[in-house]
Amino acid sequence: MQISEAESTVMDVLWRQHPLSADDVVQALAESRHWQEPTIKTLLNRLLNKGAIAAEKDGRRYLYTPVLERGDWLIDESEGLLDRLFGGRVAPLVAHFSEHRKLSGEDIAELRKLLREIDDGSR
C-alpha cells in the first residue's frame, strides 16, 4: 500500500492514539502542519479509500482507527528505500550517511552494538 508523506503524517496521529474523530485529527495537525481542515479531511478520505484506516459511525461523526500497522508500513518503506536507492543493500546506505552526514559517536556505538548482536545471533 502506497502512503504519501502527507498521509503518513495523518497516520502518525492515528498510530499514537485511536480511535479519533476528524476534528481530533484536525486539532492534532492544525498547529504543527498549518494545514486547513479540508486538507486533513481529504487525507483521511484517501486513507479510508486505500484501506489504511477504518471509520466507525459514532452518533453524527466518524471515529478513525488505523488498519495498516505502523511496523508493516515501516518495513515496506525501508525496503522500498533500500531497493530504489541502494540496490537492496544496507552497507551502501550506511556508507552514504557516513560520507555525507557525520554519524555521531552515539550512532556509531549503536551500529557497533547492533553488529555484535547480529554476530552473536541474538538478533
Q: pLDDT tens digits, residue range 92-112?
A: 988 988 888 778 889 999 999
The list of the chain residues with pLDDT below 50 reads none
Fold of the domain spanning 5-66: Arc Repressor Mutant, subunit A (1.10.10)
Which residues are bridge partners to 63 per DSSP?
21, 56
Q: Whole-model pTM above 0.85?
A: no
Domain map (residue ranges) of the chain: 5-66, 89-123
What integer pLDDT is reported at residue 104 of this predicted model? 87
Q: What percent of the chain has pLDDT over 70?
A: 98
Strand, helix or coil for residue 116: helix
- What 3-state DSSP class applies to 2? coil
